[in-house]
């Protein structure tokens, strides 16, 4: 028997949680639990525990202790503090504490700006008169927003981008990617519209506000190289040859191949390799090969579920009119006995509980089944919502 989640058992204790709308959260945690999502179950359980503590006035959470120990005086700090508490109480994302801590860092930065002391040195650079390129004011506004949001890393990266743009304005094109752009006609690109792609690389590098613009520009240029390889048929990724080998026959392969090639042409080599692995796994399933670790796990789970669904062995008891148990019916009754005994057969069956509610919303009755398994699972509304519906 699989042991139940300890948190789930506590949920079933009457009066354990009394904060408002705790019933909605309990439905959500049972939804994750019944779907086998242990990570989601634990996150919602943590959220329930945190909400109850907050409702009881317990502010012992380390982040709340740190928040309460700060003194803020800038305009709107009460609203920002409430936002942090709401994030901790309502978000089920794995990075909820990271986001809340970043928000707290943003409050600290706003207080420093308000007091005009202890600010990041980059703010002095932003407010200086060293920048003169055309989109400086827009970039400055975005940088200040990042700083006040507490995202110091993104703020510093964007400041570097702004300094790079100013060097371009001053005529400095020594960046390696810009050197490639300036000599693009000598690099041997011949596929259609390659000159448009090289312009996109330059525009991404120069004009993008995104602090990761350089990474994007490098990925775009890698995509140009892959497009040229596909066009010329030379120096291709080994996975492309596998896709073109003709060994795949499962339904949907053409669509998967198109998606994989598009990712390769876009410069997403890692995503291309992962999709290729999935394509090969699908073909293995088509050929009856279920040696993949994921398929082995699924098969073991299905076998266990099938075993659990089987009926328990039937137990047959024979009773005399005086309600006393006698020998099993297959044994012969002694010939000397002339009294005909009336027998009563008692059959014991193990019944499985099958909930009537939709497994998604846990509210409406089930009306739709999955094909081809035939399980009655979804209500009329959830059956036509993404990601279930493909319409």
Q: What percentage of the chain has pLDDT greater than the value 70?
A: 76
Whether 37 and 106 map to the same domain: the answer is: yes
In a domain, 184, yes or no: no
Cβ atoms < 10 Å from Cβ of 213:
20
Provide the CATH number for the domain around residue 355. 3.30.40
Model confidence at 141: pLDDT above 90: yes
Token reading at 17: 């949680």
Query: Got the DSSP string for 218-240?
Result: HHHHHHHHHHHHHHHT-S--HHH
Sign of the torsion angle spanned by Cα atoms 121, 124, 129, 131: positive
- Domain tally for the chain? 3
d(CA 42, CA 46): 6
Whether 296 and 322 map to the same domain: the answer is: no
Mean pLDDT of the chain: 79
In a domain, 354, yes or no: yes
Whether 272 and 296 map to the same domain: the answer is: yes
pLDDT tens profile 149-170:
999 988 998 898 889 889 988 9
Whether 384 and 305 map to the same domain: the answer is: no
Model confidence at 286: pLDDT above 60: yes
Sign of the torsion angle spanned by Cα atoms 314, 320, 323, 328: negative
Give pLDDT, residue 257.
93
Lowest mean pLDDT across 121-135, 137-151, 319-333: 319-333
Task: Classify 288 in phi/psi space as left (phi over 0), alpha (psi -120 to 50) or beta.
Answer: left
Whether 322 and 300 map to the same domain: the answer is: no
Which among 65, 87, 119 is the end of a domain? Answer: 119
Whether 345 and 295 map to the same domain: the answer is: no
Q: What percentage of the chain has pLDDT greater than the value 90?
A: 30
In a domain, 48, yes or no: yes
Question: What's the average model confidence in pLDDT over 223-227?
Answer: 93
List 365's β-bridge partners, or say none. 357
In a domain, 269, yes or no: yes
Token reading at 8: 């789930």
Whether 35 and 58 map to the same domain: the answer is: yes
Specify burial of residue 52 (Cβ count, 10 A radius: 0-12, 13-18, 19+): middle
Boundaries of domain holding 295: 236-310
Give pLDDT, residue 134.
87
Q: Which residue has the higher pLDDT, 361 or 186?
A: 186
Q: Which residue has the higher pLDDT, 110 or 24?
A: 110
pLDDT band at 314 (very low <50, low <70, confident <90, very high): very low
Give pLDDT, residue 44.
84
Query: Got the DSSP string for 259-282?
Result: HHHHHHHTT-HHHHHHHHHHHHHH
List 325's β-bridge partners, or say none. 319
pTM for the structure as a whole:
0.55
In a domain, 365, yes or no: yes
pLDDT tens profile 63-119:
889 999 999 999 999 999 999 988 888 776 667 888 889 999 999 999 999 998 888
Give pLDDT, residue 306.
61
Model confidence at 317: pLDDT above 60: no
Whether 287 and 322 map to the same domain: the answer is: no
In a domain, 283, yes or no: yes
pLDDT tens profile 165-210:
899 889 898 888 888 888 888 888 999 999 999 999 988 888 776 6
Give pLDDT, residue 5.
58
Question: What's the average model confidence in pLDDT over 279-297?
Answer: 83
Give pLDDT, residue 12.
65
Whether 305 and 347 map to the same domain: the answer is: no
DSSP state of 5: P
pLDDT band at 1 (very low <50, low <70, confident <90, very high): very low
Model confidence at 262: pLDDT above 70: yes
Whether 301 and 366 map to the same domain: the answer is: no
Give pLDDT, residue 86.
87
In a domain, 94, yes or no: yes
Model confidence at 374: pLDDT above 50: yes
Using the structure block, give the residue that is written with the tokens 């009457």.
14
Which among 119, 134, 156 is the end of a domain? Answer: 119
pLDDT band at 3 (very low <50, low <70, confident <90, very high): very low
Lowest mean pLDDT across 12-16, 145-149, 211-215, 257-261: 12-16
Whether 246 and 295 map to the same domain: the answer is: yes
Contacts of 79 (CB under 8 A, 6+ apart): none
Which among 69, 85, 119 is the end of a domain? Answer: 119
In a domain, 280, yes or no: yes
Whether 295 and 354 map to the same domain: the answer is: no
For residue 137, the surrounding DSSP H or E stretch is helix 136-148
Q: Which residue has the higher pLDDT, 298 or 312?
A: 298
Model confidence at 51: pLDDT above 80: yes
d(CA 254, CA 260): 10
């Amino acid at each position: 028997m699989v042991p139940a989640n300890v948190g789930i058992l506590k949920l079933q204790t009457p009066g354990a949680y009394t904060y408002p709308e705790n019933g909605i959260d309990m439905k959500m945690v049972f939804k994750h639990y019944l779907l086998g999502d242990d990570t989601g179950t634990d996150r919602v359980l943590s959220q329930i525990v945190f909400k109850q503590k907050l409702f009881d006035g317990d502010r012992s959470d380390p982040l709340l202790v740190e928040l309460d120990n700060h003194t803020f005086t800038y305009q709107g700090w009460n609203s920002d503090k409430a936002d942090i508490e709401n994030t901790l109480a309502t978000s089920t994302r794995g990075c909820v504490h990271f986001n809340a801590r970043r928000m707290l860092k943003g409050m600290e930065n706003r207080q420093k700006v308000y007091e005009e002391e202890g600010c990041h040195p980059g703010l002095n650079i932003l407010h200086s008169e060293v920048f003169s390129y055309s989109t400086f004011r827009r970039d400055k506004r975005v940088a200040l927003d990042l700083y006040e949001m507490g995202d110091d890393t993104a703020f510093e990266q964007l400041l570097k981008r702004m300094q790079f743009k100013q060097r371009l304005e001053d005529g400095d094109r020594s960046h390696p990617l810009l050197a490639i752009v300036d000599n693009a006609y000598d690099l041997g690109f011949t596929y259609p519209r390659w000159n448009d792609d090289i312009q996109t690389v330059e525009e991404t590098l120069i004009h993008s506000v995104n602090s990761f613009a350089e990474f994007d520009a490098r990925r775009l240029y890698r995509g140009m190289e892959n497009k040229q390889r596909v066009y010329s048929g030379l120096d291709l990724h080994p996975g492309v040859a596998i896709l073109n080998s003709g060994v795949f026959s499962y339904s949907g392969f053409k669509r998967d191949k198109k998606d994989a090639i598009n990712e390769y042409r876009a410069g997403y080599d890692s995503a291309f390799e992962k999709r290729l692995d999935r394509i090969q796994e699908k073909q293995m399933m088509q050929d009856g090969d279920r040696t993949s670790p994921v398929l082995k796990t699924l098969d073991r789970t299905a076998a266990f579920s099938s075993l659990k669904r089987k009926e328990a062995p039937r137990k047959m008891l024979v009773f005399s009119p005086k309600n006393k148990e006698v020998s099993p019916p297959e044994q012969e009754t002694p010939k000397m006995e002339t009294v005909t005994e009336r027998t009563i057969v008692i059959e014991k069956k193990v019944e499985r509980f099958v909930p009537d509610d939709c497994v998604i919303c846990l509210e409406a009755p089930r009306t739709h089944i999955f094909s081809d398994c035939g399980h009655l699972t979804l209500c009329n509304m959830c059956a036509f919502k993404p990601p279930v519906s493909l319409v």
